[in-house]
Chains A and B, each alone.
Chain A
Amino acid sequence: IQMTQSPSSLSASIGDRVTITCRASQDIGIALAWYQQKPGKAPGLLISTASNLHSGVPSRFSGSGSGTDFTLTITSLQSEDFATYHCQQAKSFPWTFGQGTKVEIK
């Protein structure tokens, strides 16, 4: 299953609403996870099963979608949110990731 994220990168300001999309090449139901990766660090789980916020993740993050189209939304961008975001399909082996979306400071 191919996972395609868009955009590949974006520039935004503190307080902006940011939306990242992830498209699967076939129906994966809600079997989708989102990860955040800061420079030089390992990824961390943000959201599982498309919309379930992982423990400790701020409520400004949310996920939605099902089937082939998914969205990660940050409602009010904070300084610590500048990072790269990855989606991963969890429907079938081999589990595949999107190419990543880098969120940069405008």
Chain B
Amino acid sequence: QVQLVESGGGVVQPGRSLRLSCVASGFTFSDYGMKWVRQAPGKGLEFVAVIAFDGSLKYYGDSVEGRFTISRDNSKNTLYLQMNNLSGEDTAIYYCTKERLPRASPDCDSWGQGVLVSVSS
């Protein structure tokens, strides 16, 4: 079955950087677009970034544009999120998600367990 396992979260000071990873298994990783979605404590879900199945297209939410970079290594079945210049508003659980259909799909049928990023001085 599909498994998405995130890592790399933790406590970081404002202005610093962090890189999240998500190792995928149970499906052909290189066939699917992937997304990062976050959820601040007690809040709703927010789209962060998406990358096409082949890495050719990348889009970002307005609140992270210019600070975050999504990437993937299809040879390692791994998705990444490089987060720079972090602020308290980035404190959230970050979920790695798999798009429902091959090649492109706005909805997500598999989610990782989530990784907590806490930005605090």
Contacts and interface: CB of A to CB of B under 8 A. Distances in A.
Contact of B44 (A93, A94, A99): A99
Interface residues of A, number: 22
Size band of the B side of the interface?
A: 20 to 34
A43 B111 contact: yes
B106 interface: yes
B95 interface: yes
Given A31-B106, A94-B59, A94-B61, A44 B44 contact: no
Contacts of A72: none
Contact of A45 (B62, B95, B108): B108
A77 interface: no
A97 B45 contact: yes
A86 to B, nearest CB: 6
A34 B53 CA distance: 23
Interface string B88-121: 0000000100001000011111111110000000
B107 A86 contact: no
B100 A48 contact: yes
Contacts of A19: none
B109 A54 contact: yes
A27 B110 CA distance: 27
Interface of B: 44-47, 50, 59, 61-62, 95, 100, 105-114
Interface pairs A-B: 4 shortest CB-CB: A90-B106, A42-B111, A33-B107, A97-B45
12 contacts: A33-B107, A42-B113, A42-B114, A43-B95, A48-B107, A86-B44, A86-B45, A90-B105, A93-B50, A97-B45, A98-B44, A100-B44
